[in-house]
Amino acid sequence: MKQRQRRRINIDVFTGIVAALALVIVSLLLVIAAGIAYAGTHAPHAPEAVQLLPRSHFVPPPFADLTPAAETPVVAETLAPMASAAVVEVVAATNVNPLDEWLTVQPLPMPDWNAIQLAAKDPAPLASSYRPMIRDAALARSLSPELVEAIARVESDFNPYEVSEKGALGLLQVMPETGARFGVARERLFDPKDNIAAGTAYLAWLRDHYRGDLDLILAAYNAGEGAVDHHGGIPPFRETQQYVKRVRAAVRQLEAQVKRIRS
């Protein structure tokens, strides 16, 4: 009796497995058939839909069930919001220029066109080409040409388009306020001749103000005469103290070169 019951159980299990496999196979066949039918009915319209969008803005649809939506209402309800979101995203992408939107939030700083034009005309000539200009401007103000050249070397390394973090401009790193003080507008400070004219005018004023004391002249040229007057001498700024030493060393080097040439 027990053996017959076991056989019946085994037969029932086997029958259930076969039935389940049959259902799986039938389901797969239905899915494949539905997919073929779906592709046949929708494929002719696909190129037109794709052509409505530029290539860069086309967004592939999310993965979806291949069975018709009418037979699977749950799938249709799930995919509808996703499809709507995709359409909204594509339409937004076609109607909004991301660059314009970004520029309205964060405008780009405008370049200094005067400096760019000067750079295009004169690609940073050698320091020796400035010597006649420096010499003429220095002697016109009764200044040492070696001093002015040394300042140009330390300040900008003879780069007429140099701009410091504090806003000093050009060959002698003249602040726009200082240039205006001596009749040279900001946009002209990238011109070597005008920059040297403004820088030497300021140096001559400092020489008279500090009665020829070179250390105070150089300290004021670097930190401003207000800082020198406030501290009653070279300000306790490491940058200014090093600046005075560097310019003095450059002056000695240039004077030695001149002496060798003359001898």
pLDDT (tens digit per residue) in 198-226: 999 999 999 999 999 999 999 999 999 99
State the amino acid at position 147 in one-letter form: L
98: number of CA atoms within 13 Å, CB side? 2
Q: Tokens in use for 257?
A: 């070169």
Give residue 47's pLDDT band: very low, low, confident or very high (50, 70, 90).
Answer: very low
Contact yes or no for 145/128 (Cβ under 8 A)? no
State the amino acid at position 200 in one-letter form: T
Domains of the chain with bracketed CATH: 2-100 (no CATH), 114-262 (1.10.530.10)
Q: Distance between CA atoms of 17 and 6, rounded to whole angstroms?
A: 17
Tell me the average pLDDT across 134-152: 98
Burial of residue 55 (CB within 10 Å: 0-12, 13-18, 19+) is: exposed
**Hey, how many other C-beta atoms are within 10 angstroms of the C-beta on 188?**
17
Residue 247 is predicted with a pLDDT of 98
Phi, psi dihedral angles at 169 (to 5 degrees): -125, 145
pTM: 0.54
Contact yes or no for 226/237 (Cβ under 8 A)? no
Q: Tokens in use for 77?
A: 């309800």
Q: Tokens in use for 98?
A: 């991301």
pLDDT in tens, 2-34: 444 445 545 565 666 766 677 778 677 776 766
**How many residues make up the chain in this entry?**
263
- Residue of 174, 177, 209 lying closest to 191 (CA atoms): 174
155 catalytic? Reply is: yes
- Pick the catalytic residue: 101, 155, 187, 255? 155
Give residue 62's pLDDT band: very low, low, confident or very high (50, 70, 90).
Answer: very low
| pLDDT higher than 60, residue 40 | no
* Gap between the terminal Cα atoms of the chain: 133
